[in-house]
Amino acid sequence: MKPLRWARPHAGWVSGNHVELLENGEAYYRGVFEAIAAARHEVLIETFILLEDKVGLELQRILIEAARRGVQVDLTLDGWGSIDLSEAYLGALANAGVKVRMFDPRPRFLGMRLHMFRRMHRKIVVVDGEIAFAGGINFSADHLADFGPQAKQDYSVSIRGGLVPQIRRYVLLQIGRGAGRDPTGERAAKAAGDMEAMLVVRDNQRNRDSIERHYRAAIRAARKQVIIANAYFFPGYRLLKSMRHAVQRGVRVCLILQGQPDMKIVKHAAELLHGHLISAGVEIYEYCKRPLHGKVAVIDDEWATVGSSNLDPLSLSLNLEANVMIRSRAFNLELCAHFEALMKGDCRRLEADQVASRRRGWRILLDTLAYHVTRLFPAWAGYLPAHSVPLKLATPGSGPQPGGEAAWRPH
């Protein structure tokens, strides 16, 4: 096998890591909440969605407890995804000493959220510079099985080892804190395993296509198998071309996509690609057990990624995203086995005649319209400002606040 040629590393592969796959909220929340409960120095969190449900209330409780025992807690939320949090919820955090920052918060207009472009879509947690979590899981009860049929299927990873200090520094840079003094001993970070890992981010300055470049490079290097599980699949021409060329080389290329869409326009647009991909030899499976929310891929025995980035125009062209890339045979074997079981037991494979039967009459017009709207969307949105959006910091008022309300001021 020829040596793999990867895209220029975002910050280089880091050795000495142990990366564990976490499936759905049951595994993710247990790991995150246990780590925060044991925190001694510092908790850093970035998340797109935080809801005031049983998951959000439990997160609030353990963050307040951590802050009251002297832990530095920084929580960054997206002002579109987490717009419904009450003043009392945010005020209780702020009054306990938690630094709560909102990315681009704006009021509703006629009850609607209109500021959906260039969102902070990352999901990262770092505790004491010793353990980090990254992936696609938000803090909301719809990531738990007891939510019902609409509970999301999703993934994250926990990381220990050499990559954790790098993730910590990145998050501190985003909130303007700077690494500062090193209370967590990050400079003496010990190897926790034999896995190589890398943090790759997408932003609107220097890293506009970093995640997509790593996907394309990994697919070009593939020799046996590519499996991509992605909730919102509508990538650009170059990534589609890389997939077709992989099939032509004899690589098995499989896509696991949503069978129960939560955004129908995206599904309609993606279905216009299905016939083209199937005719090129790509296997397409629709996950039907529950809504798919994952952003995961595994290629051969050499490369895998788990993160926040969908393969659609919003994630690839506009939002702020973060993926972890992993090089580990053991991790890949685990992920491959999981996906094979998923495709066999919980998915239906699309065939060319099924795709053709779906696109008749008004569906042809609707799919075509959705395709072009979605395809041109990044170009239209590209006219919006791409500068860094200032964060807003929730701070307790100078005196007692009714209901624990928090005042917002620019930061």
Three-state SS string over 62-120 comes to: HHHHHHHCCCEEEEEEECCCCCCCCHHHHHHHHHHCCEEEEECCCCCECCECCCCCCCE
Instruction: Name the active-site residue from 10, 143, 295, 392.
Output: 295
pLDDT at 353: 77
**Active-site residue, 262 included:** no
14-200+386-410 under CATH 3.30.870.10, yes or no = yes
Q: What is the DSSP string of 140-185?
A: SGGGSGGG-TTPPB-EEEEEEETHHHHHHHHHHHHHT--S-S-TT-
User: Greater confidence, 234 or 311?
Assistant: 311
**Active-site residue, 121 included:** yes
Q: Are 103 and 119 in contact (CB under 8 A)?
A: yes
- CATH of the domain spanning 212-305+327-381: 3.30.870.10
SS3 per residue for 114-141: CCCCCCECCCEEEECCCEEEEECCCECH
d(CA 264, CA 277): 20
Instruction: Give mean pLDDT, residues 18-35.
Output: 98
Q: Which of 218-232, 325-339, 370-384 has the lowest mean pLDDT?
A: 370-384
Q: Residue 218 belongs to what H/E stretch?
A: helix 210-221
- Percentage of the chain exceeding pLDDT 70: 76
Instruction: Name the active-site residue from 99, 143, 267, 293.
Output: 293
d(CA 308, CA 7): 19
- Prediction pTM value: 0.87
Cβ partners under 8 Å of residue 172, min gap 6: 44, 178, 179, 180
**Active-site residue, 224 included:** no
Instruction: Name the active-site residue from 123, 152, 267, 268.
Output: 123
In the predicted model, what is the mean pLDDT of the chain?
84
Instruction: Give the pLDDT confidence of 46-103 residue by residue, as tens digits.
Output: 999 999 999 999 999 999 999 999 999 999 999 999 988 999 999 999 999 999 999 9
d(CA 266, CA 233): 8
Instruction: Give the pLDDT confidence of 304-328 residue by residue, as tens digits.
Output: 999 999 998 888 888 999 999 999 9
Q: List, by residue range, all CATH 3.30.870.10 domains of the chain.
A: 14-200+386-410, 212-305+327-381
User: Which bin fits 178, alpha (ψ -120 to 50), beta or left (φ > 0)?
Assistant: left
Instruction: Name the active-site residue from 128, 154, 301, 312.
Output: 128
pLDDT at 276: 82
Place of tokens 């935080």: 50
DSSP label at 319?
S
**Active-site residue, 241 included:** no
Instruction: Name the active-site residue from 121, 152, 214, 268.
Output: 121
d(CA 386, CA 101): 20
* Local confidence band at 404 (pLDDT 50, 70, 90 cut-offs): very low
